[in-house]
Chains A and B, each alone.
Chain A
Amino acid sequence: MAATADITLAQIRKGLYWRKQLDKVFVIVGLLVLFSCLGLLATLFIDLVHKGSSRFGWDFFMNFPSRKAERAGILSAWVGTSLIMFVTALVALPVGVAAAIYLEEYATKNWFTNIVEINVTNLAGVPSIVYGLLALGLFVYTLGFGQSVLSAGLTLALLILPIVIVATRESLRAVPKAIREAAYGLGATRWEVTKDHVLPYSTGGILTGLILGLSRAIGETAPIITIGALSFIAFLPPSPVSGDFPFLNFEWLKSEFTAMPIQMFNWVSRPDQAFQANSAAAGAILLGMTLLMNAVAIWIRYRFRKKINW
């Protein structure tokens, strides 16, 4: 009895020592993996900026694409991207917020609400190129919108709808029940409660969701290639503001277009080194915009969280 206890005690000590060493090894491995992933992102960004640095400048922003790499610019690309993002935000925000309000504030738990919820979850997992096929069949040909800014904006709106819906629902859910009940107690209807009390408190979360959605949409390439974005466009869509009555025109919605990621894709697939510098410059701008949007979203979330004290 005593002999066995002796042996096991020594063994336990030795075992414990090794097990603790293993713990330390894992900590090192974990940190290594974590920071090499983050390091890769940094490397990528630095490399893009470095390789593209020769191209940054007024001309690059104000020139149309060209067969000569050093004269090519991204004017039609960033204008196209801005117009598409405008349409996307204009569609995704109201539809997404309305759908979220319905699911969170109005819907009773039944089979129908279940179907809507399962759909929202599923749509988030559908590959983005499938949205492109949907848009090609539905918007471009069946509804006759053509290969236009409108088709692209609607497609990306459908694509980010789940993101907006989920973010809005989360921020609606964070509003305490007591606030709703206080308003109901004063005789407000459901819509009045939602519009005057719940929505103002959730603005931060909704904005965060919208910006995160747009930051996803801005980099999406596959669905708008499928619609038929052109990579060589040496003209701008008609201006949305005109000199004559009624001062606004919507011709730009029907215009053919190109976009930042499309332009980058077009340049990256050329073997010419000079075009790869263009591609790097376009990529750096695109990546910079994405990171900026994410930073703004995080900042808004932080600000609103700090401001609200239940």
Chain B
Amino acid sequence: MELIKPGSKIPFTRYRKIALIVSTIVNLAVLAFLFVKGPNLGVDFAGGTIVQLKFQQRATIPDIRQALESVGLGGSTIQEFGQEGAFEFLVRVEKAGVEVAALSDQMKKALAGKFGADKVEIRRVEYVGPKIGEDLRWRGTISVIAATVMMGVYIWIRFASAFGARFGLHFGIGAVIALIHDVLVTVGALMLANYEFDLTVVAALLTIVGFSVNDTVVICDRIRENLRKIRRESLETIINTSINETLSRTILTTGTALLVLLALYLLGGAVIRPFAFALLVGFTSGVYSTIFIASPVILLWDKSFKK
């Protein structure tokens, strides 16, 4: 079976201008969105408490709110969680007027009073203090940036020996720009889908950074090889040939990864869903960015240096 017929000659770099324009607009939009509205921070980063409840029988959000009002928690955010009909809810308390340590206990008493003690179960409590939240936010951001830069440096060093330091640097920068694109696209998609940003999202972003760079590495590797083999062609042609030659690999690899992610997204449960969603978006974006961003950036830089 073959997805891409051998000898395909799609002139990818020809679309680089439109790709760069579209991607720049998308990325700027995400940045604007990020700074104007700001991401929807989960308790990991914003601090606060979430309590996951499971009821044995039908319960509605107004019922729960009413029960929680008796202990002064009526202002909490309550949302359904997990599969429909599972009667699972997530209650988020931003800043508790009551002592945090006793929060879940109070909540349990209030709910037991309304629904019956054996009808409601507290399945999960997460509390993150404001200072810890700030610390995690900072460290999360730093680690994503550090990983991105590290990938660039790795590629730079890796290809510097083959092409010389300057050209290796172009590959590194191309990769970093592609990665920033993937991270931003994923962040934008998470915001659009209204997912909360928490530790698992950072884990997803770091995985995207580590995985998306693979395609870039493979294509750069092929460019290096073709530069030796085909000496008469222009760099643009060589880049196109290299992208075409590795195209089926790029699609296959991401394809199998997307298959398992789809399984995780659909079957892995509500806790893992945002994580799987982020990876689905990020990996897909990784294919696009490698082909339409990383490679043209190499070209762009090369041209500007030749002048």
Q: Do A and B bind each other?
A: no
* Chain A residues proximal to chain B, CB less than 8 Å: none
| B contact set with A: CB distance below 8 Å | none
